[in-house]
Structure 1
Amino acid sequence: MRLNEHTYICGDRCILVPYRKEHVPKYHEWMKSPELLELTASEPLSLEEEYEMQQKWQVDEDKLTFIVLARPDDFPASSHPLLTWEQVQGCQMVGDVNLFKPEGSDDAECEIMIAEPEFRRKGIAVEALSLFITYAVHHLPLSPRHFIARIGTANTASISLFERLGFGKVRVVEVWSEAEMRWGWTESSGEEYDDSWADMHDPDAWPKTILEGRVGNTGETRAAVGAAGEGA
């Protein structure tokens, strides 16, 4: 999505940056892992196909993605919440977070992956997803209640992560061994999904103050970004 083509967001533990050509080789290496393919319900792609997919995610208006970088200890958020783009470019790539809108649906399906094992269970995933959802709520015409996640029932870590952020299980599809989760859903929400419930307004959900002083611009033109990626 061109919305975030030049936007980066600095958290306390992680930094979200636009998915660009120079990220593709590393991402391709990650997706050779049978574990990650299973956890993300993905099919292996060739390097050329990964480049094509990166371009689609960059321009398609029904997709939004950020690469997750680890914030170095050398740049604590307590003193400088927003890093410069030059500082950000030296940070390690550890995962990604994204959403896409299924055709014919008002919902937006969220996904997150921390691919580097040594960066798991450090609070990066929960912070990255929180920053991402806040950004999406305030830049896309989406109600928070239209955010969903579909997670394999064996992936208890991801299920717990989404529960921490206010998602609840709407249903479990046994044939796919998959749990469907929706933000704001509780057992009292009702046994059957109701569109009118999802359209309810949540004025205090994901306040924009979460992003204050943390959103930067790469300061690059589109042509410069393309040239940088081709030389990577």
Structure 2
Amino acid sequence: MITGAILRGQKVILVPYEAEHVQQYHTWMSDPVLRQLTASDPLTLDEEYDMQKKWQDDPDKLTFIILARGNDEDLSANRMAGDINLFLKGRPEDDDFEAEVEIMIAELAYRRKGFALEALRLMLTYVTQAVPPFSSCTTLPLHTPPPPPPLPVHPSRLVVRISQSNQPSIKLFLQLGFAVVRVVEVFDEVEMRMIEGDN
């Protein structure tokens, strides 16, 4: 899903996933621990470039790279910290339509410092736009381009699936107004959804 939006917070800047980010992303995904946490298959560098292009053009995927905020004038001077994704499943008019959220803070130096929470607030505000509950908790930069169709989505369509053992991530989404709605024992994961009226 192509967007030119750049979302700035106090600690992070979200920028569209471009070819210039692929080398670092590939380095991250060469780590077997990160691959296991993200349920990802190993790819060659060429395959990673192909994947970046497909994701950029896919109308069902929205991906931002999370930068640690430093120099606002030169975004290339900001360190890559991780990525955040939205995967659309189905059509907005379908009863079972959902928007699945994923986030990864790949760099150890940026974990447990509020980067994931701020990145999620920025992303979720952007993809829901003025739909509560996120409209009141995060202010997007002026002149932020609107999200591309079929966004925005209603917060009630947001879903996240997390390993039951990943308590820090579960607590993170609880802070954002998500609640556990289902435990899928066969996959050892919980499904969490935005509860309307929270936050």
**TM-score tier after normalising by the smaller chain length:** 0.7 to 0.9
Corresponding residue of 2:81 = 94
TM-score, structure 1 length as denominator? 0.72
Counterpart-to-counterpart distance in 2, 1:56 and 1:159: 30
Counterpart-to-counterpart distance in 1, 2:169 and 2:125: 19
Selected match of 2:166 from 150, 155, 160: 155
Counterpart-to-counterpart distance in 1, 2:35 and 2:166: 13
Counterpart-to-counterpart distance in 1, 2:156 and 2:170: 17
AA matched with 1:66: F
Aligned positions of 1:23-102 closer than 5 A? 23-72=21-70, 83-84=72-73, 87-102=74-89
AA matched with 2:54: K
Length, aligned pairs only: 175
Counterpart-to-counterpart distance in 1, 2:75 and 2:55: 21
- Larger relative CO (CA 8 A, sep 6+): 1 or 2? 1
Counterpart-to-counterpart distance in 2, 1:59 and 1:33: 26
Counterpart-to-counterpart distance in 2, 1:9 and 1:90: 16
Cα RMSD (Å): 1.6
Selected match of 1:164 from 175, 179, 182: 175
Corresponding residue of 2:127 = 136
Could you say which structure has the larger radius of gyration? Answer: 1
**Deviant stretches of 4+, over 4 Å:** none
Q: CA deviation at 1:120?
A: 0.3
AA matched with 1:157: P
Q: Deviations over 1:20-42 (max 9, x none)?
A: 00100110110111211111111
Unaligned 5+ segments in structure 2 are 130-146
Selected match of 1:109 from 95, 100, 116: 100
Counterpart-to-counterpart distance in 2, 1:103 and 1:30: 30
Q: Name the SS for the 1:130 alignment partner.
A: helix
Compare the two structures and name the one with the higher helix fraction.
1
Q: Name the SS for the 1:142 alignment partner.
A: coil
Unaligned 5+ segments in structure 1 are 76-82, 186-201, 207-232
Would you say the 8 A contact 1:39–1:155 is kept in 2? no
TM-score, structure 2 length as denominator? 0.83
Q: CA deviation at 1:112?
A: 0.3
AA matched with 2:162: I
Counterpart-to-counterpart distance in 1, 2:18 and 2:123: 17
AA matched with 2:84: V
Q: CA deviation at 1:89?
A: 2.0
Distance 1:11 1:44, change over 3 A: same
Would you say the 8 A contact 1:99–1:108 is kept in 2? yes
Q: Name the SS for the 1:7 alignment partner.
A: coil
AA matched with 1:127: E
Q: Deviations over 1:35-58 (max 9, x none)?
A: 111111111111111111111111
